[in-house]
Amino acid sequence: MCGTCPPGTKIRPHRLSEHGTIYTCTVVHVRSALGHRPPYAYGYVDLPADGTRIFAPLDGDPDTPWAPGMAVSLVFGEVVASAMPGVLGYAFRQDGR
């Protein structure tokens, strides 16, 4: 659901694009309550093909220089957090295209 849809709007599945650009991001330098070891990054990613902005983890080595405007691609894998063993999730990493 989004804030622009009127109440009662029928929701339909939609496959989002796998490529986007970082709108804004941050690198966290403290351990999370779920056991993510620092540093780890999160950001808002714009998916221009869909007109959508989503909040997502950013996946890369600790020295990855995250910045707004950077091209990123969707990846799937195990969430690296001690409280979530075996849980699969998504993230975005620097686009290698």
Between CA 40 and CA 79 the distance in angstroms is: 12
Residue 90's φ and ψ, nearest 5 degrees, are -125, 160
Low-confidence stretches of the chain (pLDDT beneath 70): 1-2, 97
Which pLDDT score is estimated for 97? 55
Closest to 37 measured CA to CA, from 84, 87, 95: 84
Under 8 Å between Cβ of 85 and 36: no
Closest CA to 19 of 95, 78, 87, 85: 95
Here the tokens at position 18 are 């796998």
Domain spans, the chain: 19-94
Q: Which two tokens stand for residue 33?
A: 């309550």
Residue-level pLDDT at 25: 96
